[in-house]
Amino acid sequence: MTRQQQVVIVGGGVIGLLTAYNLASEVGSVVLLDRSNVGQESSWAGGGIVSPLYPWRYSPAVTALAHWSQDFYPQLGARLFADTGVDPQVHTTGLYWLDLDDEVEALAWAERENRPLRAVDISAAHDAVPVLGGGFSRAIYMADVANVRNPRLVKSLKAALLALPNVTIHEQCEVSGFLREGQRVVGVQTGTGVIKGDQVVLTAGAWSGDLLKTLDLTLPVEPVKGQMILYKCAADFLPSMVLAKGRYAIPRRDGHILIGSTLEHEGYDKTPTDVALASLKASAIELLPALADAEVVGHWAGLRPGSPEGVPYIGRVPGFEGLWLNCGHYRNGLVLAPASCQLFADVMLGRTPIIDPLPYEPAGRTQPDLH
């Protein structure tokens, strides 16, 4: 592709925003479209732990993206803060996993991958996190795990893009289909008309599969609902992230504590439920008993882009010249975003890729829709 081309990006979550950010200096113009406001879906709703919850349970494809992103996040946060004055708050706290069934596998993975994960005595975990509940007997710890304050990351990325003269953002602009000339995709159809592009990139999260159906392609990306609750405590209440039984507590710098998250297959329904609220509160109090006396100040739901084994689709769509994917990150969109968007730019621009792009290629992973 030439440097004068216009790239249209469909979907303004963190993946779409960061894809635009990485491409803006390399192409003629970037047009970013979002059906609501940018970053208001899973990018806003998630917890922002800069690690898969159980990294040893994932394929090498996810691990490769996660490692690159984890190492890159601090400099991305610093660069965005310097450029925009909005600090994404990449907050390195470390993470304790408690009473794991597969602790042996976790430690073997850490040794194999040279990651600083180690078993610690439960008394050391209590010393480091005095508010930790007493019902746990084993702990493993990784010191360099950070969390990013994802709503601020979205705000920072949007501000960085708005400052660029060749980037246009259209919010409240829903894409209903693709404009084609033969087998080439040359733009998108929106509620307000056609927007043409030399290249079109689909970064629409949980909605990506539905959009590809308009081309009679089946992409196994589906919405998976997750609910979270938020407490407000003293700034020093929780010094580290903790995780047990699939639920986690994440401290923000100002004392907000996020507790998450449910996994529900409810289609596109994002209604928070009393059942989930009760379940999340129970998990919160088991992890951090002092939260029994704290007020829940927020409760919400988001839709993750579920995909097989959580391996995203990054690259060209076979049979449709000019159409690209960067979607399907499931539970790890915020974790994998820096690496996914760097890899995407490398592949689109013909540069040497940061990691092997083969496991993420849509070729062989999308099927014609026979229904």
Per-residue pLDDT tens over the stretch 277-335: 999 999 999 999 999 999 999 999 999 999 999 999 999 999 999 999 999 999 999 99
Please check the confidence at residue 371 and state whether its pLDDT lies above 50. Answer: no
> Does some domain include residue 39?
yes
Write out pLDDT tens, residues 182-192: 999 999 999 99
Helical H segments across the chain, by residue range: 14-23, 42-45, 60-84, 103-113, 122-128, 150-162, 208-213, 274-287, 333-349
Q: By residue range, what is the domain housing residue 351?
A: 6-44+153-219+309-365
> Does some domain include residue 343?
yes
Angle value at C-alpha 78, between 147 and 151, nearest 5 degrees: 45
> Does some domain include residue 268?
no
Virtual CA dihedral for 250, 253, 257, 262, nearest 10 degrees? -40
> Does some domain include residue 110?
no
Closest alpha carbon to 84 in 140, 177, 156: 156
Angle value at C-alpha 309, between 304 and 311, nearest 5 degrees: 75
Mean pLDDT, rounded, for 188-199: 96
> Does some domain include residue 280?
no
Mean pLDDT, rounded, for 78-97: 97
Mean pLDDT, rounded, for 68-83: 96
Confidence of residue 367 (pLDDT cuts 50, 70, 90): low
Phi and psi of 201, rounded to 5°?
A: -115, 125
Q: Are strands 241-244 and 95-98 parallel, antiparallel or unpaired?
A: parallel
CATH code of the domain in which 348 resides? 3.50.50.60
pLDDT of residue 4: 87
> Does some domain include residue 94?
no
> Does some domain include residue 85?
no
Q: Bridge-partner residues for 231, per DSSP?
A: 257, 296
pTM: 0.96
The count of domains in the chain is 1
> Does some domain include residue 88?
no
| 8 Å CB contact between 284 and 230 | no
Mean pLDDT, rounded, for 71-92: 96
The token pair that represents 3 in the structure block: 């440097």
